[in-house]
Structure 1
């Protein structure tokens, strides 16, 4: 069955050639098929579009008016098809990522640099927030993918771990003598503790694990960023709960020191998430592949 759009395409070519035979040649159709298409369109519109003469065809007034609109519409469709091809080839488009501040600084930026060097015409938009906020952004369509602290338990999401990370405790020079030996979690809670704020997924993970050991924490300081937690530890304000992988510079340079615990907190992961119900865009797909490897 010939679609209305196909009929309009034939109409445009006939109008341009002012000839059924010329249009048939350009369209790789038979002349009777072209003539039949025009007759079908005229029946559907209940309007004569061409004057037929022995020398060819000419547009009626109605046909001339319609041709202006149909040409514009078909041009817009062709432009749209070209834009779709550009999106598929990643010569244009947008990538919207939801990510926490700390993960953005220590994990995301190298991947963004690599992606940008390969696809410089893709516009990047970064939204920051806690894990719960980022998942909300994802579900509301504000971002295409989220990179966040795991675990995330949500059956509507695709979740792929990207990097194992380890929670640990660090301190400044003031506490070196006091913490020169191994200590357990109970001893740790007697010290002034520095944690992220309670809404942080990192804080929840550590707090939940300690509770399984019968340990309850009462932090001296609850701060809004990992960098601030590290800075408070550097200033000898207390013992800070941090991500080891994001504190390596301070540990290796001796600015901070790691608490030697009798038992280690199990590792967790940073992961990348998307909605199961929404296909990834070409840009999101390539970035996902880049991050996951």
Structure 2
């Protein structure tokens, strides 16, 4: 097939130059090599493709028909090769990134900005979802990479933790009497709690931590957005379980206050997930590299 493709390229050059010698010069081949190639193609097809005259060559009727197909096919191949080169040079391409609202807002945006400045011709689509939803989308090929809350324990995924985060409890001014001394978890759970929904990774992490202390949470409110936790705590509807790093604006402005606990909540991470069995596209590799180069990432295997 490779040899036949070369013959068709020579055939096209001869047809467009109406000359074996001119075609040879354009292809950096000898004239005998071009003549022999056309003879071979005619033998393979068992049909005469050119009329030979002292002034040069012209296509036969059959040759004209073949030329139309060859020209179209080689044009498509050339266009495909140029497209592949554009992908290689990152002057074209697209990428789908899975991410939740909170990680997008408080972690991802600066890296998206940096990636776009370095590779402005690469388009990307952001797909919103919970960590569990994004992991499923990775496995169906609907997204290339995902920014997730860890821990993730799916053996089909490669994990790159990027940033350590600390879960904590915060309250508004009406609960400031709880700030005088460290509070036990048992005492904390006696108050109205505001938590993320049970299907979120950070909620499951906190539930597991409480279970280690033989405790179980029954929240007054279960919400799907981290910022809503902060807002409900700010208006004193309860004590919110939040990610400290994503709550600093409220804490620094003293709209909310962090409750100190007697027990230590372990830190966890947020990071990048991608499918082990499928190599990342070059665009996705560059995107991951930008995050890795600017964070203290360490690759993990679940």
Same fold (TM over 0.5): yes
How many angstroms does 1:217 deviate by?
1.0
| Per-residue deviation, 1:179 | 3.2
Give distance in 2, aligned partners of 1:32 and 1:207: 80
2:145 equivalent in structure 1: 145
Q: How many residues align?
A: 293
How many angstroms does 1:65 deviate by? 1.6
**2:108 counterpart SS class:** helix
Alpha-carbon distance between aligned partners in 2 of 1:81 and 1:124, rounded to the nearest angstrom:
22
Residue 8 (structure 1) aligns with? 8
Residues 204-235 of structure 1 show CA distances to partners (whole Å, capped at 9, x for unaligned) of 01111111121111111111110111111101
In structure 1, C-alpha distance between the alignment counterparts of 2:44 and 2:134, rounded to whole Å = 52
Instruction: Determine the C-alpha separation between the residues in 1 that align with 2:232 and 2:259.
Output: 16
Unaligned runs of 5+ in 2: 294-302
Return the alpha-carbon distance in structure 2 between the equivalents of residues 92 and 262 of structure 1. Answer: 54
Equivalent runs, 1:85-124 vs 2, <5 Å? 85-124=85-124
SS of 2:260's equivalent? coil
Distance 2:232 2:77 in 1: 59
Stretches (4+) displaced over 3 A? none
Q: Secondary structure at the match of 2:125?
A: strand
Are the counterparts in 1 of residues 162 and 272 from structure 2 also a CA contact under 8 Å?
Answer: yes
Offset of 1:122 from its aligned partner? Answer: 1.8
Supply the distance in 2 between the matched residues of 1:4 and 1:215 (Cα, whole angstroms).
74
What residue is the counterpart of 1:133 in the other structure? 133
Q: TM-score, normalised by structure 1?
A: 0.96
Deviation at 1:79, TM superposition (A): 1.5
Residues 133-212 of structure 1: matches in 2 within 5 Å?
Answer: 133-212=133-212
Say which is worse superposed, 15-24 or 107-116, in terms of deviation. Answer: 15-24
Q: Using the alignment, how far apart are the partners of 1:145 and 1:55 within structure 2?
A: 61
Alignment of 1:251-270 (within 5 A): 251-270=251-270
Q: CA deviation at 1:2?
A: 5.2
* Alignment of 1:280 onto 2:274: no
Calculate the TM-score normalised by the size of structure 2: 0.93
Compute the displacement of 1:5 (Å): 1.2
- Relative to 1, partners in 2 of residues 1:2 and 1:267: Cα closer, same or farther, differing over 3 Å? closer
1:121, distance to aligned residue in structure 2 (A): 2.1
Q: Does 1:47 align with 2:20?
A: no
| Structure 1 residue 4: Cα displacement | 1.8
What SS does the aligned partner of 1:161 have? strand
Question: Comparing 113-122 with 165-174, which one deviates more in the overlay?
Answer: 113-122
Q: Secondary structure at the match of 1:58?
A: strand
Q: CA–CA distance in 2 between the matches of 1:56 and 1:2?
A: 28
Q: How far did 1:30 drift?
A: 2.5
